[in-house]
Chains A and B, each alone.
Chain A
């Protein structure tokens, strides 16, 4: 099965070759050292491998044992990464099947190779390694990239569904299997109730993140997405808690000793473990948020703080036998909001990517190990058990979905349709978590462990491949309600307005609803939490930050989409950190200006194609002329105004002609590289006149026809299609894809926020503005003095 797939695509061939090569090398190494002497580990470091009395200094030696474990682990990870690259090269694949399919196949491949070369695989997976090192990154990543608002809006439903669903599934499957085991014909008589319950609990650990990527492709509506995501988030934690409790029960040696008291204690423990874990996480989240408040000067350790505190929350919770998974999730969720505002842009990016990387590595290792196990020799196949497991999994999932949602629909104003419920039922894909729990069953307590492992593997394979591959078409077939989410200013504004409106109406009605709670929390947040946890001078509104973020994004994208040859676009780093920076260094500004000037031409080229008067892109001759004119204007301006600073405005900055638009500037602390979680303007304005302000100005020049425009409240414009580059950072944990996909899709969707500033002072290179495109946004460094706040109605400059 795997082979056929590989042959079809050429990258696969290459990969296969590469893999075979590497592994054969490994095995040949192994054979070499195997033929050498026994005393390898300590002595290999020094001497030749022979035990002959007269040793010669060997010129060339091989020592494989020393590096075996890290070497092989690295090879595995590399192989999986190469496979992922290949996977994504073929564009349609990610939408067709979840990535976990791919990883499993790679795992099977590696397993096959290992088996073939009779190699002893390194002990990557044992209980402590899994729970201490492999699991936390995965959970952390899910928690961090969770979209908070939809999560909390649906919190009740999610909790109800994930919590009860896991319980119902676990006990249902366990009990039914126990009944099956009672049937003498199947030879399963020695599997007692507890073992069955335990098996039920671990097999009900769903990992639907695998299908989230498919969902994103299909753009299902937010509610549905959130339910699945929430389930993925909480399910791990709940399953592990249940698993641990049941293991504790199993250790109580005699089944008959278990009394009602114990069961009650078990339930109480369940609750305590869950809630306690969450509390731990929240506390740690706040602590780390608080600490990041002070890290301006050591921004390099900011990611470290974030990761260490999350990990610490996990470990601390585990120490007290509380749920580490829930702790780390809660920590990530709490921390995210405040940390994002405190850390620098670079740290933010680092955190994001490092998190993804870690979780990717963990997941890869687990899947590969799963593949290796599959091809191994220790299986026990029992038709009855395995088939019934499969059947019961599906049945109980269906029961839990439909029953629980029937109940929760009564309380929701936006009930889930039957279609949605079918999708939720069908997305019950088991994944890495299930396998790990099965693999780590203690053999002493579970003499028939191999049976369980085999059954788990079958279920995982079945659900991942069959359900994973067919869920995409199913979603499309059922025509599930789609979402049309795009990040846009309008949307943010409207939603904000609606929030307030709804809260207002509820106030008028005297109604205590969700909005009240959210409002109260927000007030509390603003008044206390933010003061404590966020750096000074950084209060802001989310709409403003969204606006700035979008501007920034587009500027960055424009910069990045291959226009610039130089990477000298470095808004000064130092400026980021220091709140009271006065000015950019001249070289920086010079480089900025160069880049901007160069930029503008590229933009011009692209925009021109949409002008109905001028279908061909401008020739270079005209360009050169334009450059010349602009430079002249700039020089003229700078000499005229007598700026003390060597940089005037980059040529042709201000030429916007939406006369009704005011001239607006807002100064940020010049962390222009940031995703504009930057400080608010007013603070700096009032406190420091010399603060550098970076204005975002969007030139719009579309045609060479320059005209006066005296429109009062008009907004002549034109839509600009961006070059279709999308930021596509892989589809691994697709929960985090949302924002990136959103950004990427914006290129295709068209409407872009367009941001204008008009500067009356600088009338250099005025061109008529027929369009402002976000692509053409530019940055200008401006001295704070030049900031003015007035409407400008200056006429266009005629050119040519």
Chain B
């Protein structure tokens, strides 16, 4: 992070692309450097340095989300090996609070973006559907923090959830009909009532880069 012209031009460019303010970008850059150990890119291993992340049950999914090409808008599937600062910011921009003063369309778009991010977290094989297996996987991970829960419980919960989702999305089904999995549209339907705006955001202003990695 220098004071050179090119740096500030970059910053402005990033501002434009990701919507962060320049202070936020600077702070995030500092954080990026901490994580990457002053390298220009971050790899998966670098996330091991974040102490509290260890205890997070869905840690692997979160880390994966950083490298997911769909989130990085680099492709329909697959994982990147490493990400640079711009990619880092792109991922972070999913968590910006929705600016309610924007037009309704914009709000809707932002909402969809966030939900898409979530969708990608569930849909690990990038086939555009959340299948039962994937759903089960998620639930197992979510409940993995609690050592007393059997895998079967997790599984039946996932099953129940899946059925509920199907009933929301498809309503009455033919006797023969098979429900393949949750598509993104279905996912949107499920999320219709829930306020993602209030839940999926991080306040980027109050960051303390004092929380260092080991």
What CA separation (Å) do A493 and B165 show in the bound complex? 12
Partner of B172, one of A610, A683, A754: A610
In the complex, are the beta carbons of A490 and B175 less than 8 A apart? no
Q: Of residues 153 to 187 in B, which have CB atoms within 8 Å of A's CB atoms? A: 153, 155-157, 159-168, 171-181
Q: Is there a chain A Cβ closer than 8 Å to B198's Cβ?
A: yes
A to B contact number (C-beta, < 8 Å): 251
Pairwise interchain contact B193-A757, C-beta atoms closer than 8 A: no
Q: Mark B112-154, 1 if CB is under 8 A from A, else 0.
A: 0000001001000000000111000011001101101111110
The yes or no answer to A296 lying at the interface (CB within 8 A) is no
Stretch from A63-71, A183-191, A481-489 contacting the other chain: A481-489
With A505-B62, A512-B211, A717-B167: A756-B160 Cβ-Cβ less than 8 Å: yes
Q: Which of B163, B175, B201 contacts A715 (CB 8 A)?
A: B163
Whether B175 contacts A716 by the Cβ 8 Å rule is yes
> Which residues between 47 and 91 of chain B lie within 8 Å of chain A, taking CB atoms?
47, 50-53, 55-59, 62
- Name the residue on B nearest A219 (C-beta): B193
Contact status of A510 and B208, CB under 8 A, knowing A493-B142, A547-B160, A719-B172: yes
Closest chain B CB from A308 CB (angstroms): 32
Question: Does A713 reach chain B (CB closer than 8 Å)?
Answer: yes
Contact B180 A713 (CB under 8 A): yes
B206 within 8 Å of A by Cβ?
yes
Q: Is the CB of B163 within 8 A of A504?
A: no
- Output the nearest chain A residue to B170 by Cβ-Cβ distance: A717
Tell me, yes or no, whether A128 is within 8 Å of chain B by CB: no
Give B34's nearest chain A residue, CB to CB: A510
Interface size class of B (residues with CB under 8 A): 35 or more
Are A750 and B168 in contact, with the CB atoms below 8 A? yes
- Name the one of A506, A713, A789 contacting B133, with C-beta atoms under 8 angstroms: A713
| Chain B residues in 8 Å Cβ range of A497 | 58, 118, 121, 138, 142
Residue of B56, B149, B167, B180 near A540 (CB, 8 A) is: B149
* Interface residue stretch chosen among A164-172, A278-286, A597-605, A659-667: A659-667
Assuming the contacts A504-B59, A510-B210, asked whether A682 and B148 have C-beta atoms less than 8 A apart, the reply is yes
With a CB–CB cut-off of 8 A, which chain A residues contact B173? Answer: 716-718, 771
- Asked whether any CB of chain A lies closer than 8 Å to the CB of B5, the reply is no
Instruction: Note all chain A residues with C-beta closer than 8 A to B165.
Output: 490, 751
CB distance from A550 to the nearest CB of B (A): 8
User: Once bound together, how far apart are the Cα atoms of A716 and B179, in whole Å?
Assistant: 6
- Please tell me if the beta carbons of A504 and B58 are within 8 angstroms of each other in the complex: yes
Q: What's the least CB distance linking B191 to chain A, in Å?
A: 7
Q: Which residues of A sit under 8 angstroms from B188, Cβ to Cβ?
A: none
Determine the chain A residues whose CB is within 8 A of the CB of B212 once the complex forms. Answer: 510
B201 touches A413 (CB 8 A): yes
A507 touches B52 (CB 8 A): yes
Please tell me if the beta carbons of A757 and B156 are within 8 angstroms of each other in the complex.
yes
Please state if B178 and A715 are interface contacts (CB–CB under 8 Å): yes
Whether B167 contacts A501 by the Cβ 8 Å rule is: no
Q: Are B200 and A511 in contact (CB-based, < 8 A)?
A: no
* CB of B178, distance to nearest CB on chain A (Å): 3
A-side contacts of B192, CB under 8 Å = 484
A754 touches B62 (CB 8 A): no
Q: Do the beta carbons of A490 and B146 come within 8 Å of each other? A: no
Tell me whether B167 and A754 are in contact (CB under 8 A): yes
B102 on the A face (CB < 8 A): no
- Residues on the B chain within 8 Å of A484, using CB: 192-194
Please indicate the chain A residues that have their CB under 8 angstroms from the CB of B210 in the complex. Answer: 510
A610, A714, A756, A789: which contacts B178 (Cβ < 8 A)? A714
Report chain A residues within 8 Å CB of B149: 540-541, 544, 680-682
Chain B nearest CB, measured from A315 CB (Å) = 39
Q: Are the CB atoms of A510 and B209 closer together than 8 Å?
A: yes
Query: Chain B residues near A681 (CB, 8 Å)?
Result: 149-150, 152-153
**A510-B34, A539-B146, A543-B143 given as contacts; is B164 within 8 A of A751 (CB)?**
yes
Q: Which of chain A's residues have a CB closer than 8 A to the CB of B111?
A: none
**Could you tell me the distance in whole angstroms from the C-beta of B25 to the nearest C-beta in chain A?**
12
Instruction: List, in ascending order, chain B residues with CB within 8 A of A750's CB.
Output: 167-168, 171
Q: Is A414 an interface residue (CB 8 A)?
A: yes
Q: Given the complex, which residues of B lie within 8 Å of A719, measured CB to CB? A: 167, 171-172
Q: Are A498 and B92 in contact (CB under 8 A)?
A: no
Please name 14 pairs of A and B residues whose Cβ atoms are closer than 8 Å in the assembled complex, sorted by A: A413-B198, A491-B194, A493-B142, A495-B199, A501-B118, A504-B56, A541-B149, A664-B153, A664-B155, A665-B152, A751-B164, A751-B168, A770-B175, A789-B151
Starting from the known contacts A543-B143, A715-B162, 12 additional A-B residue pairs (CB-CB under 8 Å) come to A413-B97, A486-B193, A500-B57, A501-B200, A502-B200, A508-B50, A513-B202, A664-B159, A715-B166, A717-B163, A754-B164, A755-B159
